[in-house]
Amino acid sequence: MPPSSPPGPTASAPASPAPEDNAPRSLRIEDWLTVIVMAALALITFANVLVRYFTNSSFAWTEEISVFLMIVLALVAGSAAVARDQHIRIEYFAEGGSDARRKLLAQCGALLVALLFALIAVLSVRMVWDDYRFGETSPGIGVPQWWYSIWLPVISALIAARAIGLFVRRSRQAPPADHHGDFQA
């Protein structure tokens, strides 16, 4: 009996397009930022492990920078999820019902995400201003706290812009094909 081929695509099978092929070109910014932040996190952590192993002490700044980079990573990933329309939702409701209902829910979801992140951007500007005005410094290395907090309103505004772009794309798009007939509302 001849050995069976390993599971997976064969050389003769047509390659399916990657899901990102339909993404806007500008989405590459989020992808590259994710790579850069992950690489920085890995390098910082690796350097701290080496220093701790050889000297029994560690860099004090690594925890503070790592926490900041993880927050930036979460916000950048949120922006990519919104732009790709892969944000969290309850699929039972979002994909159920008529074509018009699904389109309306997609538009409503995009507007609510835009509203939430616009509100976060506006409200966090005051936090940044307070950090700057009162001269707050970071607890670990003593740099001005606004160096870290300024990125929350900036990235939140960018996520809101991505959500508005998603709303516009959903508004121009024809309703999806009705393939969920068993969920009719």
Number of Cα atoms under 13 Å in the Cβ half of residue 109: 22
Quick: pLDDT tens for 81-97.
998 888 777 777 777 77
Say which residues have a Cβ less than 8 Å from residue 172's Cβ, sequence separation at least 6: none
| Predicted structure pTM score | 0.73
Residue 132 has pLDDT above 70, yes or no: yes
pLDDT tier for residue 175 given thresholds of 50, 70 and 90? low
| Residue 103 parent element (H or E) | helix 99-133
The pLDDT tens digits of the residues spanning 19-43 come to 444 545 567 888 999 999 999 999 9
Q: Helix or strand or coil: residue 144? A: strand
